[in-house]
């Protein structure tokens, strides 16, 4: 029986009091573990709170409540688009009747408007469609000599052409048909140069291949600004401002991505941000993956329809 311990002895062992030093050690260890756990929870909470504040601040910077304004006014552009048959005033008005779809700016179609060419949360769709109609109709070397005409397809094979349904004329009649603003050969080449470096997050094509509404609208904005003599640097800045309202999620994610590297949005080069690395569909997807776990970022994007 020499190797066995009786139940009576086991009971005595179990009821022995724990030495004070051992109790203190255990208490200290439990306290440290509890504090560590609480610290982790607080750190996570602080991190989420800080990330939420970061996203909110960047949203205010990228999508200001007052919108983004260029140095141009609409002038007679709306009236010209109606007269050219690019816009059916009645259908266009019906499409943008409410204030939340830019209804307060429909007087642009009457011409003689001194309203600035600007974009905000409420009128982004209206501005998109006005610039889409203009980019589609304006006589353009990009449209006549670029990928839209040089491939093995019809010009009606694209969302930017087949998708335009708010004109009184057929798209084939409108396409690069009228010089709504004057652009000489040098300016046409400058438009092409800028357009080749400007992308949008809905596809992987540059604006020199404007196969969707955002591409055609961006082309129109570039043409208007080149015709007005605005600097190339400012044109990139303005296109980025408009793209940000058309694709708010993409540029908010991009801003968060750079913020994590200690770079302020205002310090970044608009031309670089509009390039394929950040503004194409594939490039922006890479950035989105990098920041997908940041609290406060919601999904969303622009539509390629009227």
pLDDT of 94 over the 90 cut: yes
Task: Report how far residue 218's alpha carbon sits from residue 208's, in angstroms, rounded to the nearest whole number.
Answer: 10
Contact 179, 187 (CB under 8 A): no
Task: Report how far residue 65's alpha carbon sits from residue 248's, in angstroms, rounded to the nearest whole number.
Answer: 13
pLDDT value, residue 44: 41
The gap from C-alpha 145 to its chain's centroid, in whole angstroms, comes to 28
What are the boundaries of each domain within the chain? 75-198+207-245
- Which segment, 2-16, 130-144, 290-304, is predicted with the most confidence on average? 130-144
Per-residue pLDDT reduced to its tens digit, 8-66: 544 444 445 556 555 455 445 555 444 444 444 333 434 445 777 888 899 999 999 99
- Which segment, 87-101, 268-282, 289-303, is predicted with the most confidence on average? 268-282
pLDDT value, residue 25: 52
Q: pTM of the prediction? A: 0.82
pLDDT of 222 over the 90 cut: yes
């Amino acid at each position: 029986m020499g190797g066995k311990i009786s139940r009576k002895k086991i009971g005595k062992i179990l009821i022995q009091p724990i030495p004070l030093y051992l109790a203190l050690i255990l208490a200290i260890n439990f306290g440290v573990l509890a504090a560590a756990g609480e610290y982790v929870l607080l750190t996570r909470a602080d991190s989420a709170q800080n990330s939420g504040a970061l996203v909110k601040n960047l949203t205010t910077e990228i999508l200001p409540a007052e919108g983004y304004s260029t140095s141009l006014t609409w002038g007679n552009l709306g009236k010209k688009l109606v007269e050219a048959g690019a816009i059916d005033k009645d259908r266009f008005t019906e499409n943008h009747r409410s204030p939340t779809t830019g209804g307060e700016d429909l007087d642009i179609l009457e011409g003689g408007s001194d309203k600035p060419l600007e974009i905000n949360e409420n009128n982004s769709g209206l501005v998109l469609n006005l610039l889409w109609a203009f980019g589609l109709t304006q006589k353009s070397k990009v449209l006549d000599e670029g990928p839209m005409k040089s491939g093995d397809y019809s010009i009606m094979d694209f969302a930017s052409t087949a998708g335009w349904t708010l004109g009184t004329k057929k798209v084939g009649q409108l396409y690069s048909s009228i010089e709504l603003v004057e652009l000489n050969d040098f300016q046409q080449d400058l438009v092409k140069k800028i357009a080749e470096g400007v992308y949008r997050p809905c596809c992987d094509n540059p604006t020199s291949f404007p196969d969707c509404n955002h591409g055609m609208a961006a082309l129109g904005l570039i043409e208007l600004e080149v015709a007005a003599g605005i600097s190339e640097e400012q044109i990139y800045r303005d296109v980025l401002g408009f793209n940000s309202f058309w694709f708010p999620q993409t540029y908010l994610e991009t801003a968060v991505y750079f913020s994590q590297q200690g770079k302020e949005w205002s310090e970044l080069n608009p031309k670089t941000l509009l390039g394929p690395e950040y503004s194409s569909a594939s490039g922006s997807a890479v950035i989105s993956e990098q920041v997908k776990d940041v609290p406060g970022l919601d999904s969303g994007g622009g539509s390629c329809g009227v």
